[in-house]
Amino acid sequence: MAVLITMRPDLTQQELDRLRRMADDVRLQIEADAFRHLDPDQQVAYCDGALRGDELEAARLHLDACDQCRADVEELSKWGAGPRKRNWLPYALAASLAAVAILGVLVFKPEPLKPRPPVAIVPPVTITAPPPAFSYGNAEWDRLVRDVTASGRLAMPALLAALQPPASHFRGGIGADDAALAPAGIVVESARPRFTWRAQPAARYVVLLAPQDGRVVESEPLSEAAWQPPSPLQRGRDYSWQLEVVTDKGRALHPAPPHPPVRFHVLDDAAAAEIADARRRFPGDHLLQAILLARHGLRADAERELLEYRKTGRADLADALLRSIQSWVPRG
């Protein structure tokens, strides 16, 4: 610019000022270009020797003046031995990782999260009593065994008490003649019970049997001291009976008046089914069977089961229950 101005001495002052401003703008632009950082593509092209002409010259001028870009170019040059020999492994690895990430998003796109159902808040449970020690699948049996085990006694059923004769006849025994009639004052399980009595020499016997408030039925004359009815008796009913003894001395009736006939009760269908069910389901549970037998008035059978329970169970409990049965009213 100075040469141009020198060669044109005839320029006016206004033209000279305009030319000076143009020169200043060019100088500022050159300085700005010299200090504008090289972008990554320009740095890579410079390292690869891909720049030509003015671009190469501008890059050299900038690198001479800019420590930052010069350091970046030197770092890039370490990846290769020279122009056109750069190692592209880092760029290829980065591109591969990006492709895998994109593929994972496309292929393994997660399903949208479903809202979880609300969690029910269960109040704490307070256990006030231990669970029952027995479980037969029958609430009534569970209660019976639990109560009897806790109390150590068996209550006499009202049915059995009703079969006993009035207290005024106890002094001399039932019948007051020691005939040993059976069944007497008990509940029998079989609908065809076996009748027995004390045998007498050269005697014949006739059983007089009558349901409560019913017609008396006589057996055929018997030579043995035992008899069994030919047909089943009606379950759930009370029966009374007497024995007629015929000897060469005459006839005698046992029990003899004023003693009333001895009585017994035939176990009803529901009780018989319950006992049969317990024997079938729990054949070795002598305690359960003893409790059910005693509950329905089968006194002798209950005592036999308690003796079996004493061998395999709690002897103290078995003895206590036996004592409670023995405290019932006298046997017939």
Same domain, 85 and 173: no
Here the CATH number for the domain that contains residue 326 is: 2.60.40.10
The reply to whether 326 falls in a domain is yes
The reply to whether 128 falls in a domain is no
Same domain, 78 and 146: no
Q: What is the pLDDT of residues 154-174, one digit of tens each?
A: 999 988 888 877 654 443 344
Give the domain extent around 62: 36-89
Same domain, 267 and 201: yes
Q: What is the pLDDT of residues 91-129, one digit of tens each?
A: 555 555 555 455 544 444 555 555 655 544 544 444 333
Same domain, 84 and 211: no
Put simply, whether the predicted model's pTM sits higher than 0.95 gets the answer no
Same domain, 316 and 236: yes
Phi, psi of 278 (to 5 degrees): -65, -40
Q: Give percent of the chain with pLDDT exceeding 90.
A: 44
Domain count, the chain: 2
pLDDT at residue 48 is higher than 70: yes
The DSSP secondary structure of 121-158, one letter per residue, reads -PPPPPP-SPPPS---S-HHHHHHHHHHHHH---PPPH
Same domain, 282 and 163: yes
Same domain, 157 and 305: yes
Nearest to 69 by CA among 33, 34, 47, 38: 38
Same domain, 59 and 180: no
Please list the residues that pair with 80 across neighbouring strands.
Answer: 86
Q: Say if strands 186-188 and 262-266 run parallel, antiparallel, or are unpaired.
A: parallel
**Would you give the distance in Å from CA 299 to the centre of its chain?**
40
The Cα–Cα gap between 174 and 166 comes to: 10
The reply to whether 83 falls in a domain is yes
pLDDT at residue 297 is higher than 50: yes
Domain termination residue (choose one: 89, 107, 123): 89
Same domain, 280 and 147: yes
Nearest to 243 by CA among 228, 254, 233: 254
Amino acid code (one letter) for 143: R
Q: What is the pLDDT of residues 162-216, one digit of tens each?
A: 887 765 444 334 444 568 999 999 999 999 999 999 999 999 999 999 998 778 8
Same domain, 273 and 153: yes
Same domain, 170 and 300: yes
The reply to whether 23 falls in a domain is no
What is the residue-averaged pLDDT of the chain? 79
The reply to whether 6 falls in a domain is no
